[in-house]
Homo-oligomer: A and B are copies of this chain.
Amino acid sequence: MAIAPQTADLTAVCRSDERGAAHVRDILDRIGDKWSMFVVSLLERGPQRYGTLARDIPGISQRMLTVTLQRLERDGLVTRTSYPEIPPRVEYALSPLGESLQEPISALATWAYAHQAEFAESRERYDAKQN
């Protein structure tokens, strides 16, 4: 445990070459994929049904909603509860682990929102210079 008590060192933690264990890489994969954080952000309002999520996430396909929810469930961020009724009802909710993600994620979102303009300007400058 060479890691400091409060902040983890990315250089030490990013590596994915130890066998078995989950790593920052896995978290970053979940965070970086196309739909996961959108789903999580919706679930922060409370449990939601599959159809509700599908309606509230513009542009997502049925397949990707299913896949995203399965990955989130596998990683323990989301729980799935199905009620054996007809018609079937399934509710997805954030687990405690998923809820605990809110703080770092919204810090990131806040940062991203605050620096949107710098980001965009830098890209414009860069792209302009390329030709």
Contact = CB atoms under 8 A, between A and B. Distances in A.
Interface of A: 3-4, 6-11, 13-15, 17, 20-24, 26-29, 31-33, 37-38, 40-42, 58-59, 73-76, 97, 100-101, 103-123, 126-127
A10 to B, nearest CB: 3
A120 B4 contact: no
A30 to B, nearest CB: 8
B110 A3 contact: yes
A113 B3 contact: yes
Contacts of A14: 37-38, 41
Contact of A104 (B75, B104, B122): B104
Given A112-B24, A113-B24, A75 B122 contact: yes
Nearest to A15: B58
